[in-house]
């Protein structure tokens, strides 16, 4: 793999679906999987098969029908889990078993109630078991960023020695800052003697709003796989947003010099499909895919965009599959935007008419926030009527 290529691991159908309100049935998961195939994700984590018979069925269906991406299923470090994933993904063109165990003392002592040595033995047993089914095995150390670094280095070295080809070190609770996580990966990769035998992966949560920043910092620290979701959905505050990570590499390639296999023109339609399937709207100000991402209401901004889009847009709407920018007519709008909208409606106004239409539009916007084309047409008609009456 080229050093500048990022593997995009999409976990919308697994971690994303675990978020309250985001569950999907099997036909819905298959529909989204097809869209993720079109989008061009490298790895598609289809589900957690041991969780339910429906989830196992969905993973099996996706594995048999989706071509192109690696199809992964999640398993705890447990024989039954791993065997269930192996059965669920066996029909895939390319299959991956993704197995995990917590490694922080907090999780070992309070949740799993096992010792470090028992954790280490579980890694040996279960990564080896998974490798017996496929040569593509991913190991994740849950709560890695809050784990003792010396112990984590032993865990990672052992996982790789037992056959893990990808090592994922998640910031499970979104606790890290970018500087911390970059140093974390740099130090660990340098200290693990067989680290060159595996691809390192980052999986960041957004509890402090740092998931994307942390993911990019982890890449600077040596990761070449980024785990993310459409619209940033996922447990609690969500995961790193796929669309944000990918577009950072496109817009700021000077500082983030990495490539992906994502067809960015399919980003918006994928976002919309997820929103429709889950009936969970995307927040209006969401970067890249939110309703307001390419919308402008302030007069100064509208004037700038009319003259040169680059004044207030750092990417073209078409780059992510959005038809065009939107100039929203509201109380902050300027005359240039009103004039352009009138022209788009096929109406040429004199300077005096434009002034009257503009003032009436502002008065209406004060009462109802935004002014639609039908409102503007009514205002234009009223101005023309009054003007004709005055002339008579």
pLDDT tens digits, one per residue of 94-107? 999 999 999 999 99
Cα(170)–Cα(206) distance, rounded to whole angstroms?
12
Residue 31 backbone dihedrals phi, psi, to 5 degrees: -60, -45
Could you tell me if 336 and 299 are in contact, meaning their C-beta atoms sit under 8 angstroms apart?
A: yes
Whole-structure pTM value: 0.92
Phi and psi based region of residue 101 (left: phi greater than 0; alpha: psi -120 to 50; beta: remaining):
beta
Residue 72 backbone dihedrals phi, psi, to 5 degrees: -115, 150
| Residue spans per domain, the chain | 7-278, 295-391
pLDDT in tens, the chain (392 residues): 567 999 999 999 999 998 888 999 999 999 999 999 999 999 999 999 999 999 999 999 999 999 999 999 999 999 999 999 999 999 999 999 999 999 999 999 999 999 999 999 999 999 999 999 999 999 999 999 999 999 999 999 999 999 999 999 999 999 999 999 999 999 999 999 999 999 999 999 999 999 999 999 999 999 999 999 999 999 999 999 999 999 999 999 999 999 999 999 999 999 999 999 999 999 999 999 999 999 998 989 998 999 999 999 999 999 999 998 998 999 999 999 999 999 999 999 999 999 999 999 999 999 998 899 999 999 999 999 988 777 65
Crossing angle, helix 79-89 and helix 53-65, to 10 degrees? 40
Range 350-359 contact pairs with CB under 8 angstroms and sequence separation of 24 or more:
353/383, 353/384, 353/387, 356/383, 356/386, 356/387, 357/383
> What's the pLDDT at 383?
93
The per-residue pLDDT for range 235-266, each reduced to its tens digit, is: 999 999 999 999 999 999 999 999 999 999 99
- The CATH fold assigned to 7-278 is TIM Barrel (3.20.20)
């Amino acid at each position: 793999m080229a050093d500048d290529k990022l593997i995009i691991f999409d976990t919308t159908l697994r971690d994303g679906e675990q978020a309250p309100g985001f569950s999907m049935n099997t036909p819905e998961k298959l529909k989204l999987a097809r869209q993720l195939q079109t989008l061009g994700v490298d790895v598609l984590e289809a589900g957690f098969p041991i969780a339910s018979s429906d989830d196992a069925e969905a993973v099996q269906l996706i594995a048999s029908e989706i071509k192109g991406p690696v199809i992964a299923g999640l398993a705890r470090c447990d024989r039954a889990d791993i065997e269930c994933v192996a059965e669920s993904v066996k029909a895939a063109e390319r299959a991956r078993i993704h197995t995990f165990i917590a490694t922080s003392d907090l999780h070992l002592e309070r949740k799993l109630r096992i010792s470090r040595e028992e954790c280490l033995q579980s890694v040996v047993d279960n990564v080896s078991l998974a490798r017996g089914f496929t040569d593509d095995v991913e190991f994740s150390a849950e709560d890695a960023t809050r784990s003792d670094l010396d112990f984590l280095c032993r865990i990672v070295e052992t996982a790789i020695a037992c056959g893990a080809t990808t090592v994922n070190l998640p910031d499970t609770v979104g606790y890290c800052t970018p500087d911390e996580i970059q140093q974390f990966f740099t130090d660990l990769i340098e200290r693990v003697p067989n680290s060159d035998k595996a691809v390192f992966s980052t999986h960041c949560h957004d509890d402090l709003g740092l998931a994307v920043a942390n993911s990019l910092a982890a890449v600077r620290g040596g990761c070449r796989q980024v785990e993310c979701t459409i619209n940033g959905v996922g447990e609690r505050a969500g995961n790193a947003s796929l669309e944000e990570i990918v577009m950072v590499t496109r817009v700021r390639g000077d500082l983030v010099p990495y490539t992906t296999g994502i067809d960015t023109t399919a980003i918006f339609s994928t976002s919309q499909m997820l929103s429709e399937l889950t009936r969970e709207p995307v927040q209006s100000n969401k970067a890249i895919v939110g309703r307001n991402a390419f919308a402008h209401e302030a007069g100064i901004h509208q004037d700038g965009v009319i003259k040169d889009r680059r004044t207030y847009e750092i990417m073209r709407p078409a780059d992510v599959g959005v038809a065009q920018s939107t100039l929203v007519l509201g109380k902050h709008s300027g005359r240039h935007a009103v004039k352009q909208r009138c022209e788009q409606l096929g109406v040429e106004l004199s300077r005096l008419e434009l002034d009257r239409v503009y003032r009436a539009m502002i008065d209406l916007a004060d009462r109802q926030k935004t002014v639609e084309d039908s409102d503007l047409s009514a205002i234009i008609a009223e101005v023309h009527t009054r003007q004709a009456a005055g002339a008579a």
